[in-house]
Amino acid sequence: MMKMEYFKKVVKESIIILIISSLLGLISGTVLSLNEEILYSIPIILLTLPALNSLIGDISIVLVSRLTTHLYIGTIAPEVKKSARLKEDFIGLFLTIIFSFGTLMTIGYIFLSIVGKQIVNPFIIIIILSITVLILFVILFIILFIFSIFLFKKGKDPLILIPLTTSLIDFLTPLLIIILIIIFI
Amino acid sequence: MERVEDETRIRIIKELFPSEIVSIIGSILAGVILTILILPFESFAVLILMVPAILSLRGNISGPFIARTGKDLIIGDFNKGTWLQNILATLFLSLITSVLIGTISFFLNVLFFKVEAFPFYVFIAIPVISILLNLSISIPISTFLNYIAFQFGLNVNNVVNPLMTAVDDFFSVFSFYLTLLLLGVP
C-alpha cells in the first residue's frame, strides 16, 4: 500500500475502540478498588485474576485472529450460520480453555500451598471460577463470531474487535467473580 | 504443512495449549512481581488507579499489532512497508491512549481519592513512558516470533499471541516499575 494507507486504515479503525477500551480499563480499576476486600479475603482469586484475564483474553484474540483469517481466505462464509470449520474451531478452543484452566488452578493452589496461604472453600472457588470462564467463553464466541461477520461484510477488519474484547474481559472477569462470590459465599 | 482451513481441533489444542501454559506462568509471575515491586511505593493508592488500564494495553495495543502481522504473513501482505506502518500506527495509538489514561487517572484522583502524590505531568508521563518501553521490547520479539512460527509452518494465530501475553505481562509490569524509578515517583 502507498502513502501510509495501511497506517491510516489501522488508526482510523482502532482509535474509537481504543478510547472506549481505555475507559473500560479505568472503570475496571475503580470497580476492583471498591471491592478489594472481597478479592483480598480470597487469595487464590487475587493471585489468579491476571492469569484468568490473560487466558480468556488469549483465547478471544486467537478466536478473532482465526475468524479473520478464515473470512479473508474464504474458509468461513461471511454469514451467520453454523459450519464444520466453525464447529472445529469452537471445540478446539473450548478444550484448550478447559485444559488451561485446570493447569492454572493447579499452579495457583501449589503456589498458595508453598507460601502457606490458607485455601478457603476450594471446591466453591473452583466452581465460581469455572462458571466465570465458561460463561465468558461461550458468550464471547457467539458475539465475536457475529460481529466479525458484520464488520467483514462492512469492509472493515474484524481484528479491530481485539482491544474492545480484552478490555471487556478485564472488566467482566472480576465483576462476574465478585457477583458469583456474593451469590455462593 | 497443514493449511489453516484444514486444521483439526487436535492441532488447535496442540499448538495453543503449550503457549497458554507459558502465558499462564508469565501472568502469575507478573502478578507476583507486581505485588512485590509496586506495592511498597508510598503512592500505591494512586498508582493502582492506572495499573489495570496500563496492563490491559497489552491486549489493546500489542495484541492487534501481533494479529495484524500474523494476518499479513498468512494472506501474503507482509512487507517492510506494511510492517513499518503497522509499527507507526501502534506507537501513535499508544501515545494517544496513554495520554488519555494519565489525564483521566488524574481527574479520578482529584474527584474520588484526593491523594497528592505527584503533579499532573507525572500522571501523563507514567503511562506514556511505560507503554513505550514495553513496546520497544514487544514489537521486535513478536515480529521475530511471528516470522519464525510462519517459517516453521505453525499457525501464527495459535502460537504467537499467547506466548506474547507472557512476555507482555512480565515486561509491562517491569516497564511500569522502571518508569516509576526513572521519574522518581515516591
ipTM: 0.75
Which of helix, strand or coil describes residue B73? helix
Domain boundaries along the sequence of chain B: 4-183
What does pLDDT average to over chain A? 83
Q: Is some CB atom of chain B closer than 8 A to the CB atom of A7?
A: yes
Where does B4-183 sit in CATH, by number? 1.10.357.20
pLDDT at B112: 75
Residues A105-116: pLDDT tens digits?
Answer: 888 788 777 877
- Of chain B residues 56-75, which have a CB less than 8 A from chain A? 56-61, 63-64, 67-68, 70-71, 74-75
Residues B136-148: pLDDT tens digits?
Answer: 988 899 888 888 8
Whether pLDDT at B129 is above 90: yes
Cell of B82: 506494511
Average pLDDT of B102-115? Answer: 82
Cα(B5)–Cα(B34) distance, rounded to whole angstroms? 40
Amino acid at A121: N
Q: Which of A34-38, A117-121, A175-179, B54-58 has the highest mean pLDDT?
A: A175-179
Residues A118-174: pLDDT tens digits?
Answer: 667 788 888 999 999 999 999 999 999 999 999 999 988 888 888 778 778 878 887
Q: Is some CB atom of chain B closer than 8 A to the CB atom of A57?
A: yes
pLDDT at B1: 47
pLDDT at A94: 93
Query: In which region does residue A157 sit, left (phi positive, over 0), alpha (psi from -120 to 50) or beta (all else)?
Result: beta
pLDDT at A99: 92
Average pLDDT of A54-71? Answer: 87
pLDDT at A44: 67
pLDDT at A101: 92
Q: Is some CB atom of chain A closer than 8 A to the CB atom of B18?
A: no
Query: Based on C-alpha coordinates, what's the Rg of chain B?
Result: 18
What does pLDDT average to over chain B? 82
Q: Which residues in chain B touch residue A112, judged by CB atoms under 8 angstroms apart?
A: none
pLDDT at B34: 67
Domain boundaries along the sequence of chain A: 41-184
**Contacts (Cβ under 8 Å, ≥6 apart) of B109:** B46, B49, B115, B117, B123
Residues B162-182: pLDDT tens digits?
Answer: 778 778 878 888 888 899 999
Q: Under a CB-based contact definition with an 8 Å cutoff, are residues A140 and A91 in contact?
A: no
Q: Do B60 and A167 touch (CB under 8 A)?
A: yes
pLDDT at A137: 92
Q: What are phi and psi of B69, to 5 degrees?
A: -60, -45
Q: Is some CB atom of chain B closer than 8 A to the CB atom of A3?
A: no
Nearest C-alpha neighbor of A150 from the set A94, A67, A75: A67
Size of interface A-B (CB pairs under 8 A): 228
Q: Which residues in chain B touch residue A95, judged by CB atoms under 8 angstroms apart?
A: 9, 13
Average pLDDT of B7-11? Answer: 79
Query: In which region does residue A70 sit, left (phi positive, over 0), alpha (psi from -120 to 50) or beta (all else)?
Result: alpha
More confident residue, B62 or A158: A158
Nearest Cβ partner for A51 among B27, B58, B158: B27
Q: Which residues in chain A touch residue B51, judged by CB atoms under 8 angstroms apart?
A: 29
Rounded percentage of chain B residues whose pLDDT exceeds 70: 90
Cα(A22)–Cα(A24) distance, rounded to whole angstroms? 5
Return the number of other C-beta atoms located less than 10 Å from residue B4's C-beta. 17
